[in-house]
Structure 1
Amino acid sequence: MKKTNLLAVTISSVLATSGSAAIAQSNSTSADAQAERITVIGSRLSQRTATDGTAPVDIISAEDLQASGITETARALQYAVPSFNFPSSSITDGSDAVRPASLRGLSPDHTLVLINGKRRHSSALVHLNGTTGRGSSNVDLNAIPISAIQRIEVLRDGAAAQYGSDAIAGVINIVLRNQDQGGDVSITGGQTYEGDGENFKIQGSTGFRIGQAGALTLSAEYHNKNRTNRAGLDPRQQYPLLGDGSLDPREDEFNRLSHHVGDAEFENLALFANFTYQLANGEIYSFGGVSDRTSKSGAFYRRALDDRNLIEVYPDGFLPTLAPETSDASIVTGYRFGLGTWDADISVGYGESLFEYHLENSINASLGPNSPQEFFAGGLRTSELSVSAELTRFFQFYNNSDIAVAFGVNYRENDYKIRAGDEASYINGGFDGRPAGSQGFTGFTPDSQITESRDNTGLYVELENALTDAFQWGAALRYEDYSDFGDNVSWKLSGRYQFNDQLAARATTNTGFRAPSVQQLYFTNISTLFVNRDGELVPEQSGTFNNISDVAQALDIGALQPEESQSYSLGLVWNGYNGLSVTIDAFQIDIDDRIILSSSLIPSDSPAVAAALEQAGADNARFFVNAVDTTTRGVDVVVAQQFELNDWGSLRAQLAYGYNRTSVNNVELPEILGGLENRLFDNVERTRMTRSVPQHTGTIGLTHNYGAWQTHLAVSYFGDYIIENNAGTRTTFSGKWITDLSTRYRFNDQLSARVGVQNLFDVYPDRQLPENQFNGIFLYPNTNAPFGFNGGSYFAELSYRF
């Protein structure tokens, strides 16, 4: 179970302002828009605008998220914050349903996600198959509906000393809508230029007054999206040869668009609530939500002649369909109140994620013609319980300045559970020597079942002071004690100096850490994966073994340790005339003992490996290991300007650019039995860690308001990236420009309509090299495509405010 550092964040929510020259997307003159520029992460001083802080923060309003018509929270955030990466993937098992997302080119689990300043639980899913962040688990941002969001704040700075584990790359804080009356509802529909990917979304939010001093906001979303498919035609022989050695005549009639390479089909339903009630000496608050999603995506097509098929069941072959069901639920309840001269905040939170594997249109060929064709292949569950208490107040300090002091304690418990699938999903029935297990995803066996937990306690103190009108500084110290690997101390120092009314400099330095997640500590499974052997994709029983498994013990893999980081940032802030703001922030993040999901060991590596694999019933094995030390350097630039055009309305312009580059400084692998350490981290994993996401990303955004019309134009750049396969082939995919255009018309104060196009010029990634296209089927990269491979799409939206 799990819930954690609620405190360091709670008061941040109440007192804090934040850090940095954000994507100041709310530079309009209205009071509401100005409120959007207030941030709550990274600082505990009185509320300020984004450019007044010691660290960079992007602030994205709900209106900015909705302007492009993008219907997924994580995808909308990707186009708003260049340092945020949310690549598309296909035929990657569960990662088709819950995709990895990351900041500054680091791993998805190096970013901490908060809701209203409280830690959000991560997904139970572990990314296994070739995606960015392989071996990690991340928060499923798409489980949080856009309709529930007032704004999103992205702290681009290390913050483990403030918020605990995971905040190495930064912090994403989602602020929920909070209102006691009124609301809105909208309906959105659209599809791709190709005519697939049809999607329909209805969402809304409304507020209620509770008694004389309370407010309850309810937000809901229903979203249905059909799949997209950009697979090539399968030219291979499909049917067994006839008795005379000739081709089956059905070869001429077979539909060769047999694979599904594209976005998954899904149906998502979410409901969120945000409640506050004012008391004489404080405020009771509570918020949370539930989300349920069913996805459908394809695996590799099983040809009729394949020994994984039974012609008696599927005479033309079949496409196994993964239909996972995912659900997230969370609730946080707390009390903020005055305690003498102190402000206190006590809260309790609980969140859980459930990921169940279901297979449709499948078969366990080893059971013969009577095999089921639908399977429950097992489930993953993670939960988090957190209890926090914090005290904050201001003291008089040097030169009659005030110093903000905050200290608190957090207790967090994490649980992780793996549930075995139906027996038919993994058993070997022995029929005709056919492969065992449900095709598309082999079920979790009883040996994979596990129920484990761990807990930790954190103590922290933070100081912040505006020593003079020109200089402010902050410091934080945090101690964490974990039940499974020991303790850690992290710290942070930050400062800002205002040279004049326009120019300021800011800097931070901090240490950080990331505890191994319970998923990395305890996940284990054997499933069928396709591996490149001598240029041909072949199915193998691939085992992912945790470090307490018999295989790991036999090979002396060793226990996981926390990752540790040292970060530095230096920035300049320019607040010029007529609303111009410019921020430039350079950073360096050194991470030691990064945890990876290793490359695979195979029987030919050594007799010891062969014996361990034979005992486990697997063709290869991979493990979670502390493997490498890395350095990530980069720079973020944000320029924003508001133009008043008199009779022609107003124009908000913004440029945001991010650069990051990760290099491997040292590879230090556990000394496993047989001296096979170097086999655990090959060039495929090195390339995935350092070059699988674009090093250069940027967005130029223009929003023009003219009477009842609003037009939004965004041109985004995704730089080149590299994918390497097991055969040693490195492919560089060139950078691309993506253009989005939308326009909205307000009929009156209540009713408005928006139409637009995403990827206006129908841009696709470069095609893969012919030798990597798997017989011409995988035309585009099916993993790590930064803007997907669907081409252009169009949408229409109708909204009503009340």
Structure 2
Amino acid sequence: MKKLNPITLAIIAGSMAAIPAAAQQQNQPEAEVEEVLQVVGSRLSMRTATDGSAPVDIISGEDLASTGITETAKALQYAVPSFNFPSSSITDGTDAVRPASLRGLSPDHTLVLINGKRRHSSALVHLNGTTGRGSSNVDLNAIPIAAIKRIEVLRDGAAALYGSDAIAGVINIVLKDNAQGGMANFQLGQTHKGDGEQWKLSGSNGFAVGDDGAFTLSGEIHSKNRTNRAGPDPRQQYPSLPNGEPDPREETFDRQSFHVGDADYENVSLFANLEVGVGESSTFYAFGGVSDRTSESGAFYRRALQSNTLTEIYPDGFLPILAPDVKDYSGYAGFEWMLGEWTFDLSAGYGFSEFQYNVKNSLNASLGPDLTPTSFEAGTLQNTESNVTLDAQRFIPFANNSDLSIAMGISYRENSYEVIAGQEESYINGGYQDRPGGSQGFTGFAPESAVDESRDNVGVYLEAENQLTTDFMWGAAVRHEDYSDFGTNTSWKLSGRYDVTDRLAVRGTANTGFRAPSVQQLYFTNISTLFVDRGNGPEPEQSGTFNNVSPVTEALGIGNLQPEESDSLSFGVVWNGFNGLAVTVDAFQIEIQDRIILSGDVTPSDSPAVADALANTSAENARFFVNAVDTTTKGIDVVVSKDFELGGYGDLKTQLAYGYNDTEIDAINLPSLLDGLDDVLFDENEQVRMTESVPKHSGSLGLTHQTGKWSTNLQFSYFGTYDIYYSSGTETYGPDWITDVTVSYQWNDALTVKLGAQNLFSEYPDRRSEGNQFNGIFVYPLTNSPIGFNGGYFFTEVEYRF
């Protein structure tokens, strides 16, 4: 890919000085949302996000696109301070589908909707040392920014409204629904180091259907080259000569052998949204999309002197490449109609996620040089979800001449999970010279890991909302769910808002919530080679992840997984001041009981019970999912926005946003058969990951200035300190300040040209301490960094609207 001309990069810096300072506005100021909205978390129509009883961020698709950020999840991270989307490298499948979280909780504590309908999660289970280890999250990057009209982020528990998973909050992605017009956009950029070259072609177009219908088609093609920030490998690479002297090839070996950075990446996605009237009071709607992604990321380098290398094939050693193929399909269809005073909505949807593990530039050393392949299909994970829902809503006369909104409904959901074994050469041990078996880089799924299981549930709910007076509104909801595996759960929510004056309001909520154990946590199982650091650096071990229906977990008395349950409180103040000033301050507390964790590795030497359980397996250690931890998360979110009219100097929109969260562990409850192993099952590493791996403080100051044909966006983002545990102890990273800027010129009514810089001053995370750099190779933290490890990214963009 052709690199950007240095003159282009200079233009960016020059444009910053020449154009009035401005802003990237992530959360559109509420006063600017003129249309009447039905915002996530409420069935009452409202004009702005500040009208409700719970905090909601509304981010328009235009604001997401204006940043120049090419990934939906990353754009949302810079838009909502309480949303975290950390970078990772050398973390197997997590390099391709990274976890994201809200309010410092687990990725699976946030429910994602599209057009108000539940979105399925990824088939991938995060197994390595990243934030959200043991969870599966919705892959937001499967949804192109070009398809998004707006994103609504409800920062409040809402399980009583939407069901499982909505403990931290709800993200509702509203798709574009224009009946005419469209856009085409092309972006080209690279990092300041000259790598990470990428281009993205995206577009959207609306078509009229009938007299009042609309069909909108949106898509993107995104290609990105890898980045690499690994240090040189100083270690001995080749066996010593018979006389004890080093091999002469040590002098010429390319010691930039590891890959630490973003993966090579290709993604194609297409989304469609249809809505058309049927008769006078009925509407048919349908939406869905497809995404197909491939990526290539590195594992640990295999040196020529190691037993897991065959020098007949790779005389200088080799870097195994994990090259998964990630597919995502979804579709919803529904019919909404009036019957008397009632509005009914019947919908059905299907979601499918597939994560196929492919390994390239590898081998199975135990098969010998004549029989081993060098690429493998190592197995496939598949997750499917089907939903059928019937909702009914109406208004009835209520006290004080007000209307009471009554809503009720019933839903059916089926979740299925499948683990498909890889090709035989990816997992077997052929016995050649006692070499280790399985494909190097990622050991394939063996037939004993194959799973094809499902579960279903039925939910019923009742909601009531009322604007009792012009100053006071209240809401209540209750939901009952019945699951085929663990039983039932009932959750409730109360909310209220009181306008003290025309400008000052107070609001609050109280709710209980739950998260059913995911089918991934219930059924995922695998035995593979993982690099485990037990104090002497990463060493390979045959590590077994055993699901809760396996003989191993039954022998250890793990028990069936139960739902996580939560109790949440929030209280906020809203100030709509003079001349468009808006201030919201919301404090919250979320208590979660029986959080599900992926345990640490227990070995036969830890306990006779473990030795007996693993006796008939090939695993050297075992880990499993278990309800084990109670936590309390407290925090506060602040958003301040203000518009300024500068006369002949244009218009300026400003926004200051700040988020704070702190998670504390209240109790640890582990299986009785494994008494005394608390420090192994939920060790300091996992405790730090749960409570300290996400910055407690984050914030941003965004400025958007427009004058004539020029528009400039400037944002300062702050990410506070976070911790990572190593075998030598815990290290603290941060804080970090990031500056982003874009300058746009509207050439004519249709054509806009943009230049921009993300991380303008090329900030990097703090370096790992010398003792934790793995021989100087891992210079920066491999996981958890909110700012990544690429430095600055500079781009140019052209957009055509029609």
Match of 2:28 in 1: 25
Q: Deviation digits for residues 666-718 of structure 1, max 9, x if unmatched?
A: 11112125653553111110000000010000000000010101000000000
Q: Is 2:353 the partner of 1:353?
A: yes
Residues 531 and 541 of structure 2 are in contact (CA less than 8 Å); yes or no, is this contact kept in structure 1?
A: yes
Please report the TM-score for the alignment, with normalisation by the length of structure 2.
0.96
Secondary structure class of the residue paired with 1:605:
coil
1:91 aligns with 90
Distance of 1:38 and 1:731 partners within structure 2: 45
What are the Cα deviations for residues 204-237 of structure 1, in whole angstroms up to 9, with x where unaligned? 0001112333211000100000011000000000
Deviation by residue 1:169-201 (Cα, 9 ceiling, x = unmatched): 000000000011110000001000000110100
- Give the Cα–Cα distance (whole angstroms) in 1 for the partners of residues 387 and 755 of structure 2: 43
The answer (yes or no) to whether the contact 2:39–2:49 under 8 Å persists in 1 is: no
Structure 1's unaligned 5+ residue stretches are 1-21
User: Which whole-Å CA distance do the structure 2 matches of 1:545 and 1:175 have between them?
Assistant: 38
Q: Distance in 2 between matches of 1:729 and 1:613?
A: 30
How far apart are residue 28 of structure 1 and its match?
7.4
Alignment of 1:317-466 (within 5 A): 317-370=317-370, 371-466=372-467
Partners of 1:637 and 1:40 lie apart in 2 by: 19
Q: What is the SS of the residue equivalent to 1:604?
A: coil
- 1:505 — aligned with what? 506
Match of 1:122 in 2: 121
State the alpha-carbon separation in 1 of the partners of residues 528 and 749 from structure 2: 55
Find the counterpart in structure 2 of residue 255 from structure 1. 254
Query: How far apart in 2 are the matches of 1:104 and 1:672?
Result: 34
- Distance in 1 between residues matched to 2:408 and 2:67, nearest whole Å: 41
Q: 1:28 to 1:504 in 2, by over 3 A?
A: closer
CA distance, structure 2, for counterparts of residue 352 and residue 180 of structure 1: 28
SS at match of 2:50: helix
CA contact (8 A) 1:608 1:674 kept: no
| CA shift for structure 1 position 427 | 0.4
Question: In the aligned structure 1, how far is the partner of 2:543 from the partner of 2:772?
Answer: 21
Aligned positions of 1:522-601 closer than 5 A:
522-601=523-602
Q: Distance in 2 between matches of 1:328 and 1:26?
A: 33
Q: Per the alignment, in what secondary structure is the counterpart of residue 672 of structure 2? A: coil
For 1:653, the equivalent position in structure 2 comes to 654
Question: 1:654·1:702 contact (CA, 8 Å) conserved in 2?
Answer: yes
Amino acid in the other structure paired with 1:741: V
Kept in 1: contact 2:180–2:208 (CA 8 A): yes
Q: String of CA shifts for 1:622-661, please: whole Å, max 9, x gaps.
A: 1100011000000000000000111111000000000000
2:31, 2:580 within 8 Å by CA — same for their partners in 1?
no
Deviation at 1:106, TM superposition (A): 0.0
Query: How far has the Cα of 1:38 moved from its partner?
Result: 3.3
Instruction: Note the alpha carbon deviations across 1:475-501, whole angstroms, 9 max, x for none.
Output: 000000000000000000000000111
* Letter aligned with residue 180 of structure 2: Q
1:133 Cα shift? 0.3
Structure 2 regions of 5+ residues with no counterpart?
Answer: 1-24
TM-score scaled by length of structure 1: 0.96
| Preserved contact between residue 23 and residue 656 of structure 1 (Cα < 8 Å) | no
Q: In 2, are the aligned partners of 1:459 and 1:478 still within 8 Å (CA)?
A: yes
1-side partners of 2:155 and 2:410: how far apart?
A: 25
Letter in 2 for 1:502: R
The structural deviation recorded for 1:23 is: 6.3
Aligned-partner Cα distance in 1 for 2:452–2:30: 50
Cα 1:710–1:28 change in 2 (3 A) is farther
Describe the SS at the equivalent of 2:108.
Answer: helix
Q: Does 1:109 align with 2:112?
A: no
Query: 1:501-556: CA deviations, max 9, x gaps?
Result: 11000000000000000000000011111111233211111111111112111211
How far residue 796 of structure 1 moved from its aligned partner, in angstroms, is 0.6
SS at match of 1:603: coil
Deviation at 1:39, TM superposition (A): 4.8
Aligned twin of 1:735? 735
Matching residue's letter, 2:332? V
| 8 Å Cα contact 1:39/1:153 also seen in 2 | no
Q: Indicate if the aligned counterparts of 1:671 and 1:677 stay in contact, CA closer than 8 A.
A: no
Per the alignment, do residues 799 and 614 of structure 1 end up closer, same or farther by CA in structure 2, a change over 3 Å counting? same
Q: Identify the residue that residue 3 of structure 2 maps to in structure 1.
A: none
Aligned match of 2:18: none
**Bigger shift: residues 152-161 or 64-73:** 64-73
The answer to whether structure 1 residue 683 and structure 2 residue 699 are counterparts is no
| Pairwise CA distance, 1:440 | 0.3
Instruction: Report the counterpart of residue 197 of structure 2 in structure 1.
Output: 198
Tell me the secondary structure at the aligned position of residue 34 of structure 2: helix
What is the SS of the residue equivalent to 2:705?
Answer: strand
SS at match of 1:363: coil
* Distance in structure 2 (CA, Å) of the matches to 1:428 and 1:718: 46
TM superposition shift of 1:605: 0.4
In 1, distance between residues paired with 2:117 and 2:393?
A: 17
Distance in 1, Cα, partners of 2:711 & 2:29: 15
Counterpart of 1:216 in structure 2: which amino acid?
Answer: F
Structure 1 distance, partners of 2:396, 2:497, is 20
Q: Which residue of 2 aligns with 1:617?
A: 618
More deviation, 612-621/322-331: 612-621
1:38-85 deviation digits (Å, cap 9, x = unpaired): 352011112331111000001111111112210000000000000000
Question: Matches of 1:678 and 1:478 in 2, distance apart?
Answer: 38
Q: Residue 273 of structure 1 aligns to which amino acid in structure 2?
A: A
> Counterpart in 2 of 1:141?
140
Alignment-derived partner of residue 494 in structure 1: 495
Looking at structure 2, the residues matched to 728 and 317 of structure 1 have their Cα atoms a distance apart, in angstroms, of 29
Equivalent position SS for 1:369: coil
CA contact (8 A) 1:649 1:706 kept: yes
Structure-1 separation of matches of 2:119 and 2:801: 30
Moved more, 238-247 or 169-178: 238-247
Aligned partners of 2:604 and 2:610 also within 8 Å: yes
Aligned letter for 1:213? D
Partner of 1:13: none
Aligned to 1:17: none
- Contact 2:30–2:50 at 8 Å: present in 1 too? no
Q: Which runs of structure 2 are paired with 1:56-71 in the superposition (5 Å)? A: 56-71=55-70
Q: Is the 8 A contact 1:39 1:49 kept in 2?
A: no
Given that residues 669 and 678 in structure 1 are in contact (C-alpha distance below 8 angstroms), is that contact kept between their aligned partners in structure 2?
no
For 1:608 and 1:312, the matched residues in 2 are separated by 43
Aligned residue type for 1:499 = V
Question: 1:261-314 deviations in whole A, cap 9, x for unaligned?
Answer: 001111000000000110122100000000000010000000010100000010
Query: Contact conserved, 1:123 with 1:137, CA < 8 A, in 2?
Result: yes
Match of 1:4 in 2: none
Cα RMSD (Å):
1.1
- Deviation for aligned residue 1:734: 2.0
The answer to whether the 8 A contact 2:30-2:48 is kept is no
Aligned residue in 2 for 1:712: 713
Q: Alignment length, in residue pairs?
A: 776
Conservation of the 8 A alpha-carbon contact between 1:764 and 1:791: yes
